[in-house]
Amino acid sequence: MALNIVVCMKQVPDTTEVRINPETNTLIRDGVDSIINPFDTYAIEEAVRLCERVEGSKTTILSMGPPQVESSLKDALSVGADEVVLLSDREFAGADTWATSYTLAAAMKKLKPDLIITGKQAIDGDTAQVGPGIAVHLDMPQVCYVSKIREINDEVAIVERLLEDGHEVVEVKLPAVLTVVKEINEPRLPSLKGKMKAKKTAVTVWTNDDLDTDPECLGLTGSPTQVSKIFSPPKRGGGEMIDGENAQEKAETVVAKLKELQVI
Amino acid sequence: MELDFGFNEEQLMIRDLARQIAKEKVVPARAKYDEEQKFPWDVINQIAASDLFGVFIDTEYGGCAEGNGITNMCIVTEELSKACGGIALAFAGTGLGTLPIILSASEEQKQKYLPDIASGKRLAAFGLTEPNAGSDAAAIRTTAVKDGDDYIINGTKQWITNGGDAEIYTVFAVTDKTKGARGASCFVVELGTPGFSIGKKEDKFGIRASSTTELIFEDCRVPATDMIGKPGTGFMTAMKTFDASRPGVGSQALGIAAGALELAVDYSRERIQFGKPVSSNQGLQWMMADMAMQVEAARALIYATARTIDNPKGRATKFSAMSKCFASDMSVQVCLDAIQIFGGYGYMKEYPIEKYLRDAKITQIYEGTNQIQRDEIASALIKESAQRK
Amino acid sequence: MSENKLIISADKCVGCTKCVKQCPFAALEMDGKLAVVNDSCTFCGSCVDVCPTKAIILNRAEQKGVDLSAYAGVWVFGEQKNGKIQSVVLELINEGRKLADSLDEKLSVVVLGNDMDAACQELLEYSVDYVLQIDAPELADYAAEPYAKVLSDIVSKRKPSIILAGATSIGRSFLARVAVEVKAGLTADCTGLEICEKMLHQTRPAFGGNIMATILTPNHRPQMATVRHKVFKEATKNGGCGGKIEKIAVDDNKLLTSRTKRIEFITDNETTINIAEADIIVSGGRGMGKPENFALLEELANALGGAVGASRAAVDSGWIPYSHQVGQTGKTVGPKLYIACGISGAIQHMVGMNSSDTIIAINKDPDAPIFEIASFGIVGDVFEVVPELIKAIKNK
């Protein structure tokens, strides 16, 4: 058996660096890097490991976005992906999770994967909705928050999924969509040979003309939700600083205050 | 922005990759390895997996160098040293141990050893120094006596980088006592060879992530085919090796200094005294400007020397000595100044900056003390003058 | 079909760069003194409002929507595990009630499970108009496909205007399926819900909590949202409002088929107390220095009857398992008391705990951002202050 694996990857701004300018109330983007969505790096690594485990398998990375995404796709190639496909078209712009999953699913119909893997969510939007969305558009089952792929063959995979209170072991029929959490593996760093290969491998770019889509379902037009307003999070006001000669005095003061407020 | 040293696209990839490993693997681990004095295998395995042990070995032997191995070695050493000069040494020490093979070994020997080193499967070490033969390398007492098709090695090597963790050792021994420096030969000895054992592991001031040990040879039998070059060429091989390796020590010193400078500048912007960052004090600004100029000057000297060695037009001894000596003196001074910028915190182990100084100090000492380097430079100057007349 | 288009009038643009700074997607650039739009534009319209000269016009293509007036009613997904209604459902009832009242619509709780009679009966003790009870053996435990298909089927037939679910692993993974099946708008992980002009305004953090976004579903129904746990207060039992249980039978067996099968469930022993449910949390960050020091926090947590949490820095350093992580990429908590020890207060941590009732911060650095949100701040060494706190609590 050999698996045809497609990983959905998103290029995101490094959100740990995104800040709001408190004076103008706008995003400060200067010096913010574009990176592979960290959760997707686990998806890529898991796909590459599956390819090492199951001979003859292939990992294709699928992404959607402007041409700048090519740099992240090259990064994915340098850690072992075999092929990369970018969906780039003005028609796709402004897509919410509904339209995004619709468009990715349209590309999947051409790629015909046995297994789709993606990160549990992207760190810019944090929705976790695209994975399940693709599954429905393709009429596939899904398992979200996968922390381990125990077994896999042509027909089924047995996986562990991480829930709030423990691990659920699930058998899922293939083809299927898995979304993965960071517990699943430790992504490798690239190799020099990988980087050389990435340089030589061309990024396949598909526009809407390459897909079989309904224009009513694409981009902003196909998106039920729309962003109406963006603002900086309200600040919770600072409270009281506890004074005291030493740690003991400060500790006693704060415990007294907690008692007074009936917190303890 | 960085100065343009004419690196090609592959070299820029090598630099970015080493930088990524330094940031993601070395920085989080360095304090632990420094404290525990353990060999950084997880980082080494990553360097191997990323193909970086091949940067100083030509493509026909499984590496990726194309006549630019010394420059490549300096690039990787500098980047790793920015994060930790000690962990970088496991890489650079392998480079040093491999150079006698690259420079003087036969085709068969190269085919036998280089691919495993290039893939990072096996590390290398360089065994010259002895208890009574440091700067005076010609005074080595380890002997190799011919016995049939073999040589039998006896003696002790000291302060050997990667000792015990490397598997391939280039070892220097006297094969003809009557010929002095021309009586020494170089051998490849593999770990596990009967009669070859690892002695005491040193407890060091700095570069504590690197292992430094004795090598003990007691009737250690090696086939004559493992001799590198002809009998009596060992000392020449060692000197050729140093010509090529000293920019590597320079790049280690450079990386340490550049790393310390970056930390110091970052800290000066964060540390608030008298209501403003200490970086707003002109006294510190001028210190930092001087440090930065010294770092860039060393970098320019090192990469010019490395490029000269990669495209040889004669022996580069003088420039090698300069790049090692200038960079290491500079590095110790920059680290001292960096600690000064950190003030009291700089003196505490809680911050990484004191370790930079401890790691920098060795670069003034090993592969020839800086006094020896100045001897080499002066002697070259005098010789050149004499040749002009 | 008309096209989405952002038009910048060259005559009106004065090159003030306000729009460039406003754009969250870096889709606007300066070409000399003129702002121009690039391919990253998502037509969000943020730039239109900030332009002082009204040089930017956004033409959104007309959407084929649905007849909005055909949809009515606020639904809450009654998430259950092992037959027990989860506490997030009570939070949703509280919030859903307000939404229903301001729309003058009914509030229903939809419960998917098996033999859920008693639990459904209990739900009527809250201000709930209807409990829609769907029992089937296949629905006893959560499974994405039957849950999504059954709910989608009922939604298509009954046409609610709003559906809320907890932003839990279950809620987030199957509501996304329902939204695609019925072509509804779904907004994830909301922290604010409000009705304005009959429309649900859904507010949520994005970009790791660095910005907030308000999302609308103008032309599609239902308006669906998953709602962050512990952000809204739980509803209290008030004897109910004369609500009724309606049992709905699944008549099409195809809806109940699943291509996934639960083999077993392994309860995580690591988290004896689920921090998301704890009333008191003592959390440690980078300042704890090493894993052994978390024993000190455990001691304090034990003295208070609470749980131990951690910042991402502590978890990433391998000092404590991920299940303890509080923050954007960990758990969101809203305890009565949150004690942050050696946590500087990265935004990603603060978004996960700033709805705590009382926050105590202990940090060496008087400028640590955590003090900006702390109810009580103590500048000092964690290793001196925490032992004193333990003593003071035990003496009380």
| Distance (Å, whole) CA B110 – CA B99 | 11
- At C271, the pLDDT band (50, 70, 90 cuts) reads very low
- Give the active site residue among B262, B367, B376, B384: B367
Give the contacts of A106 (CB within 8 A, at least 6 positions apart): A137, A211, A212, A213
pLDDT in tens, C22-34: 787 778 888 888 9
Task: Report the mean per-residue pLDDT for chain C.
Answer: 90
Phi, psi (deg, nearest 5) at residue B32: -65, -50
Q: CB-CB: which of A130, A170, A231 is closest to C263?
A: A170
Residue range(s) defining the domain that contains residue A211: 4-217
Phi, psi (deg, nearest 5) at residue C278: -75, 145
CA nearest A19 in C: which residue? C210
Strands C185-190 and A166-173: unpaired
Cβ pair B51:A189 closer than 8 A: no
Phi, psi (deg, nearest 5) at residue A136: -70, -45
How close does chain B come to A193, measured CA to CA in Å? 7
Q: Is residue C172 less than 8 Å (CB to CB) from chain A?
A: yes
Percent of chain A with pLDDT over 70: 92
Predicted confidence at residue C330, as pLDDT, reads 79
Question: By CB neighbour count within 10 A (0-12 exposed, 13-18 middle, 19+ buried), where does B249 fall?
Answer: buried
Predicted confidence at residue B229, as pLDDT, reads 96
Residues 341-360 of C with CB under 8 A from A: 346, 348, 351, 354, 357-360
What are the structural domains, with CATH classification, of chain B? 9-122 (1.10.540.10), 125-234 (2.40.110.10), 242-388 (1.20.140.10)
Please indicate, yes or no, if residue A24 is contained in any of the structural domains.
Answer: yes
Predicted confidence at residue C46, as pLDDT, reads 79
Token pair 């003005």: residue: A90
Q: Is residue B17 less than 8 Å (CB to CB) from chain A?
A: yes
Please indicate, yes or no, if residue A254 is contained in any of the structural domains.
Answer: no
Question: From the CB of residue C128, how many other CB atoms can be counted at a distance below 10 Å?
Answer: 26
Give the contacts of C321 (CB within 8 A, at least 6 positions apart): C270, C315
Give the contacts of A98 (CB within 8 A, at least 6 positions apart): A133, A222, A223, A224, A225, C179, C180, C183, C185, C186
| Distance (Å, whole) CA A45 – CA C236 | 47
Give the 3-state secondary structure of residue C27.
Answer: coil
- Least confident range of B9-13, B295-299, C85-89, C371-375: C371-375
User: Mutate which of A12, A70, A165 to disrupt the C interface (most C C-beta within 10 Å)?
Assistant: A165
User: Mutate which of C68, C80, C82, C173 to disrupt the A interface (most A C-beta within 10 Å)?
Assistant: C173
Those chains having 3 or more beta-carbon pairs within 8 angstroms of chain B are: A
Across residues C233-253, what is the average pLDDT? 92
Give the contacts of B178 (CB within 8 A, at least 6 positions apart): none
User: Mutate which of C180, C267, C396 to disrupt the A interface (most A C-beta within 10 Å)?
Assistant: C180
| Distance (Å, whole) CA C139 – CA A133 | 21
How close does chain C come to A83, measured CA to CA in Å? 24
CA nearest A79 in B: which residue? B50
Question: By CB neighbour count within 10 A (0-12 exposed, 13-18 middle, 19+ buried), where does A238 fall?
Answer: middle
HSE of C114 in the Cβ direction (CA atoms, 13 Å)? Answer: 11
Residue A11: pLDDT over 50 = yes
- Least confident range of A72-81, B190-199, C333-342: C333-342
- Least confident range of A73-82, B197-206, B241-250, C304-313: C304-313
C275-395 in CATH: which number?
3.40.50.1220
Predicted confidence at residue C185, as pLDDT, reads 92
Across residues C299-309, what is the average pLDDT? 90
Cβ pair A189:B24 closer than 8 A: yes
How close does chain B come to A31, measured CA to CA in Å? 13
Question: From the CB of residue A185, how many other CB atoms can be counted at a distance below 10 Å?
Answer: 18
pLDDT in tens, C274-283: 787 788 999 9
B353-361 and B234-270 helices cross at what angle (nearest 10)?
A: 160
Q: CA dist C217 to A98, C62, C161, C181, C223, Å? A: 12, 14, 11, 16, 6
Across residues B87-114, what is the average pLDDT? 97
Across residues C253-266, what is the average pLDDT? 93
Residue C194: pLDDT over 70 = yes
Interface predicted TM-score (ipTM): 0.88
Cβ pair C260:A125 closer than 8 A: no
Token pair 């951002």: residue: C369
Phi, psi (deg, nearest 5) at residue B57: -115, 135
- At C1, the pLDDT band (50, 70, 90 cuts) reads very low
Encode C27-36: b = buried (16+ Cβ within 10 Å), e = exposed. Answer: bbeeeeeebe
Q: Is residue B100 less than 8 Å (CB to CB) from chain A?
A: no
Domain assignments of chain C as residue spans, ordered by start: 5-59, 68-256, 275-395
Which residues of C fall within a CB distance of 8 Å from A126?
188-189, 205-206, 208, 328
Encode B258-287: b = buried (16+ Cβ within 10 Å), e = exposed. Answer: bbbbebbbebbeebeeeeeebbeeeebeeb
Q: In sequence order, what DSSP letters do the residues of B3-36 get, joined into one string? A: ------HHHHHHHHHHHHHIIIIIHHHHHHHHHH
Cβ pair C64:A216 closer than 8 A: yes
Predicted confidence at residue A30, as pLDDT, reads 64
Q: Left, alpha or beta for C253 (phi > 0: left; psi -120 to 50: alpha)? A: alpha
pLDDT in tens, A158-216: 999 988 778 899 999 999 999 999 889 999 999 999 999 999 999 999 999 999 999 99
* Residue B173 DSSP symbol: E
* Residue C320 DSSP symbol: S
Those chains having 3 or more beta-carbon pairs within 8 angstroms of chain C are: A
Predicted confidence at residue C212, as pLDDT, reads 85
Cβ pair B13:A191 closer than 8 A: no
Cβ pair A132:C177 closer than 8 A: yes
- Least confident range of A116-130, B17-31, B62-76, C23-37: C23-37
**In total, how many domains does chain A have?**
1
Question: From the CB of residue C256, how many other CB atoms can be counted at a distance below 10 Å?
Answer: 17
| Distance (Å, whole) CA C333 – CA C6 | 40
Give the 3-state secondary structure of residue B358.
Answer: helix
AA letter at C281: I
How close does chain A come to C57, measured CA to CA in Å? 15
Which residues of A fall within a CB distance of 8 Å from C373?
235-238
Phi, psi (deg, nearest 5) at residue C7: -115, 130
Cβ pair B13:A193 closer than 8 A: no
Kindly state the greatest CA–CA separation across chain C.
74
Predicted confidence at residue C22, as pLDDT, reads 79
Q: Is residue C249 less than 8 Å (CB to CB) from chain A?
A: no
Cβ pair C188:A127 closer than 8 A: yes
Give me A137's structure tokens. Answer: 């558009």
Residue A74: pLDDT over 70 = yes
How close does chain B come to A76, measured CA to CA in Å? 14
Q: Is residue A192 less than 8 Å (CB to CB) from chain B?
A: yes
- At B254, the pLDDT band (50, 70, 90 cuts) reads very high
Percent of chain C with pLDDT over 70: 98
Give the contacts of B256 (CB within 8 A, at least 6 positions apart): B81, B82, B85, B331, B335, B356, B359, B360, B363
The answer to whether residue B367 is catalytic is yes
Predicted confidence at residue A230, as pLDDT, reads 79
Which residues are C41's β-sheet partners?
A: none
Predicted confidence at residue B160, as pLDDT, reads 97
CB A60, CB A44: distance < 8 Å: no
Give the 3-state secondary structure of residue C62.
Answer: coil
Task: Report the mean per-residue pLDDT for chain A.
Answer: 90
CATH of the domain at A23: 3.40.50.620
Predicted confidence at residue A27, as pLDDT, reads 62
Give the contacts of C184 (CB within 8 A, at least 6 positions apart): A224, C155, C163, C178, C217, C220, C221, C222, C223, C224
CATH topology of C68-256 equal to that of C275-395?
yes
Which residues of A fall within a CB distance of 8 Å from B10?
192, 196
Report how far Cα C31 is from the mean position of its chain's Cα atoms: 40
Which residues of A fall within a CB distance of 8 Å from C261?
170-172
Kindly state the greatest CA–CA separation across chain A.
73
How close does chain B come to A137, measured CA to CA in Å? 38
Across residues B26-31, what is the average pLDDT? 92
Which residues of B fall within a CB distance of 8 Å from A79?
none
Across residues C126-134, what is the average pLDDT? 97
B69-83 and B9-21 helices cross at what angle (nearest 10)?
A: 30
Q: CB-CB: which of A188, A189, A192 is closest to B13?
A: A192
Q: Is residue A167 less than 8 Å (CB to CB) from chain B?
A: no
* Residue C169 DSSP symbol: H
CA nearest A196 in B: which residue? B10
Which residues are C110's β-sheet partners?
A: C77, C132
Strands C80-81 and C84-85: antiparallel
Percent of chain B with pLDDT over 90: 93
Predicted confidence at residue C47, as pLDDT, reads 85
B353-361 and B85-104 helices cross at what angle (nearest 10)?
A: 30
CB C155, CB C116: distance < 8 Å: no
Q: Is residue C257 less than 8 Å (CB to CB) from chain A?
A: no
Cβ pair A250:C346 closer than 8 A: no
Give the 3-state secondary structure of residue B43.
Answer: helix
Taking Cα atoms as reference points, which of C345, C168, C151 lies closest to residue C255? Answer: C151
Across residues B191-206, what is the average pLDDT? 96
How close does chain C come to A1, measured CA to CA in Å? 21
Q: Is residue A189 less than 8 Å (CB to CB) from chain B?
A: yes
Question: By CB neighbour count within 10 A (0-12 exposed, 13-18 middle, 19+ buried), where does C217 fall?
Answer: buried
Residue B10: pLDDT over 70 = yes
Residue C270: pLDDT over 60 = no
Predicted confidence at residue B180, as pLDDT, reads 82
Across residues B254-259, what is the average pLDDT? 98
Which residues of C fall within a CB distance of 8 Å from A263?
336-337, 357-358
Predicted confidence at residue C58, as pLDDT, reads 86
User: Mutate which of A24, A103, A127 to disrupt the C interface (most C C-beta within 10 Å)?
Assistant: A127
In chain B, where does DSSP find H-type helix? 9-21, 27-36, 41-49, 69-83, 85-104, 107-118, 234-270, 282-310, 317-342, 353-361, 370-388
Q: CA dist B376 to B319, B370, B379, C182, Å? A: 10, 10, 5, 82
Residue B71: pLDDT over 70 = yes
How close does chain B come to A79, measured CA to CA in Å? 10
Cβ pair B17:A199 closer than 8 A: no
Q: Which CATH number fits domain C68-256: 3.40.50.620, 3.40.50.1860, 3.30.559.30, 2.40.50.100?
A: 3.40.50.620
Tell which CATH architecture fits domain C5-59: 2-Layer Sandwich (3.30)
